[in-house]
């Protein structure tokens, strides 16, 4: 299979996904990834994702997230909704609170597409 035959996000021999540096993105894959990266383009959402991802136990209550920001609870909920819509986090209601966790593989999916193949783009 030539480099031109490979399109990111589609089947590749050996099950390995190509990166931005090895093959062009398919249109639907680009739209999917753009939504996730757009969601992370806001500092509040980036911090929220970081707080959720770094939490011991893998999840955090919204009641622990809100006090970390000088924003209203509805604003924090809006940011969390955008992260959910982008497929980066998921939540589960328990009583009056929602507990958030990172969707398994979501961060790897973003990192994998940006990863530079060994030797490519390296500076001496």
The model's pLDDT over 20-60, given as tens digits with 9 standing for 90+, comes to 777 788 888 888 889 999 999 999 999 999 999 999 888 99
Q: What is the mean pLDDT of residues 6-12?
A: 41
- 6-10, 34-38, 64-68, 80-84: which has the minimum mean pLDDT? 6-10
pLDDT in the model for residue 87: 94
Beta-carbon contacts of 23 under 8 Å, excluding residues fewer than 6 positions away, are 3, 6, 7, 8
What are the residue ranges spanned by the domains of the chain? 27-114
Residue 118 has pLDDT above 80, yes or no: no
CA–CA gap between residue 59 and residue 71 (Å, rounded)? 21
Residue 123 and residue 31: Cα distance in Å, rounded?
Answer: 31
**The domain defined by 27-114 carries CATH number 3.30.390.30:** no
């Amino acid at each position: 299979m030539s480099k031109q035959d490979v399109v990111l996000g589609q089947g590749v021999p050996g099950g390995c996904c190509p990166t931005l540096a090895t093959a062009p993105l398919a249109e639907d894959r680009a739209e999917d990834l753009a939504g996730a990266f757009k969601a992370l383009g806001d500092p509040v959402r980036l911090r929220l994702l970081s707080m959720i991802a770094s939490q011991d136990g893998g999840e955090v209550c919204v009641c622990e997230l809100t006090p970390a920001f000088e924003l209203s609870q509805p604003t924090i909920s809006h940011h969390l909704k955008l992260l959910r819509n982008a497929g980066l986090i998921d939540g589960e209601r328990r009583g009056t609170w929602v507990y958030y966790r990172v969707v398994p593989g979501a961060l790897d999916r973003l990192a994998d597409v940006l990863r530079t193949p060994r030797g490519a783009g390296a500076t001496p």
